[in-house]
Amino acid sequence: MSLYGMYVKVLGPLATKWFTPDVIGLENVPKFGAAIIASNHLAVIDDAVIPLETPRMVHFMGKKEYFNGKGLKGKFKKFFFTTAGVFPVDRSGGDKANGGLTEARKILEQGELFGIHPEGTRSPDGKLYKGHTGVARLALETGTPIIPVALIGTNIAQPAGTVWPHKHHTVIKYGKPIIVPQVHESEITHKMIRQLTDTMMHKIQELSGQEYVDMYAQDRKKELTAAKNATTLQHPQKSK
């Protein structure tokens, strides 16, 4: 039995009882062939919740820090994500960051499912943020359909900063596939990939019911950090 198979058959039933996921629209996931599972991102456990009820293996990319932790906590994270089908990606930028999409392309060319969060990072406040265009470019280059997915309740099950998730009901909604024609790399324009990205995020927003914010989640996190630091400088005693 593969590590992923062990997760689904051994850890899966336990996780299902813990998160009690309701699944809607599972018929929209193709039984055969490649597809991109594009989901909102609320918690670290998102990549582990989706495979619980999906009949096919979903390959996700996760930042390499999840696999390099030390001690018991670090070993648990590495084991958990490895068994759930997550592969490490270096997000430091440049060619290293592009390695994740190269691996994703291989997965799609093999006719498998690739899962990704277009927001690029977890939402800092439960809202849905602007999508990055890498997903759309990948879909256009390979002619792969995009399945918009909404996760609901995972941020309550695992609030930011929490390692072990709480027991909480979750919902997974699969939308109808966005059919994407294959376009030669030289013919793909920025307008084309931006429009597809915005369409994808709109479909996710319709499923999740989240408030949409037209800015990147990373930028919002920087704003929140700056505001917190400013408050600390102005009122050092209150921040303790």
Query: For residue range 63-80, what is the model confidence (pLDDT) as tens digits?
Result: 777 677 778 777 777 776
Residues of the chain scoring pLDDT < 50 = 1
240 in any annotated domain:
no
Burial 33-58 (b: 16+ CB within 10 A, else e): ebbbbbbbbbbbbbbbbbbbbbeebb
Backbone angles phi, psi at 20, to 5 degrees: 35, 60
pLDDT at 1: 47
221 in any annotated domain:
no
138 in any annotated domain:
yes
- Looking at the 3D structure of the chain, how many domains does it have? 1
Tokens encoding 240: 């303790």
CATH code of the domain containing 133: 3.40.1130.10
Rounded to 10 deg, the angle between the 134-142 and 94-109 helix axes is: 40
pLDDT at 65: 74
Alpha carbon 102 to its chain's center: 17
User: What are the start-end ranges of the E strands in 75-227?
Assistant: 86-89, 113-116, 128-129, 146-152, 171-174, 212-213
90 in any annotated domain:
yes
186 in any annotated domain:
yes
Domain that holds residue 107: 3-212
Burial class (CB in 10 A: 0-12, 13-18, 19+), 3: exposed
234 in any annotated domain:
no
DSSP H/E element including 193: helix 190-208
118 in any annotated domain:
yes
- Tokens 């390692």 locate to 163
Closest of 77, 18, 15, 25 to residue 52, by C-alpha: 15
